[in-house]
Amino acid sequence: MASNVLFFLFAGFAIACAISMVYHKNPLYSAVSLVGVFIALSCIYITLAAPFIAAVQVLIYAGAIMVLVVFVIMLLNMDDDKPLSRLRYLYAVGGGLGLILLAQTFFIFYAVMRTPKHAVNADETAGNTLSIGTAMYTEYLLPVEIVGVLLLMAIIGGVILVRRFDPGHLKLVVDNELERRHEEDEKDDFRIAL
């Protein structure tokens, strides 16, 4: 009984944070609301006896990924945009899709309540922290390292893409790149004009 109460409490908190995330116009407030969703999901995982997934949810999503999202938001320095009146029909589309999602949620809730309940032996279930850690750093060490290198490359690429040069410095960078490629005759080409 207590687990049901905790589930509905954390689910309600996750839904409230998700609504807050969509409602706010400031992307920083939306990012903070998304952190609330991730923490509520982590609490739901704990009630489902999945401590590893709960810890990963907090460490990776609420921690590392959201730091990167906030970092990109700060680098982009987004100004307040005026609302677009030409996209008002999307409210009706979003409402219809929301009703479909609500119907699907009730169907899944009904299907779960009708399934028979079996006792679960916690010692025999796969997915505890020790078995996942052992598999990750023995059998699957190469894929874990490859993913780490790919994430590092993505971070470096993101930082390079958001660098802002003044037009004079940017022209100098483009001219140096053209000289390096031995294409000096294309310096005044209108296609690469700044």
Domain with residue 18: its CATH number is 1.20.120.1200
Within-domain flag for 112:
no
Within-domain flag for 72:
yes
Q: What is the pLDDT of residue 154?
A: 86
Whether residue 188 is predicted with pLDDT greater than 90 in this model: the reply is: no
Would you say 44 and 81 are in contact if contact means Cβ atoms under 8 Å apart? Answer: no
Pull the structure tokens for residue 76. 């982009």
Q: What is the pLDDT of residue 33?
A: 92
Within-domain flag for 91:
no
**Residue 22 domain boundaries:** 1-78
Pull the structure tokens for residue 57. 């949810």
Within-domain flag for 42:
yes
Within-domain flag for 169:
no
| C-alpha triplet 71, 73, 77: angle, nearest 5° | 115
d(Cα 30, Cα 44) in Å, to the nearest integer? Answer: 21
Q: What is the pLDDT of residue 194?
A: 47
Mean pLDDT of the chain: 80
Whether residue 132 is predicted with pLDDT greater than 70 in this model: the reply is: yes
Alpha helices in the chain (DSSP H): 2-23, 27-47, 51-56, 66-76, 89-114, 129-136, 141-161, 167-180
Report pLDDT digits (tens) over 59-105. 888 888 888 888 877 777 665 555 556 677 788 888 899 899 899 98
Within-domain flag for 114:
no
Count of domains observed in the chain:
1
Within-domain flag for 117:
no
Q: What is the pLDDT of residue 105?
A: 87
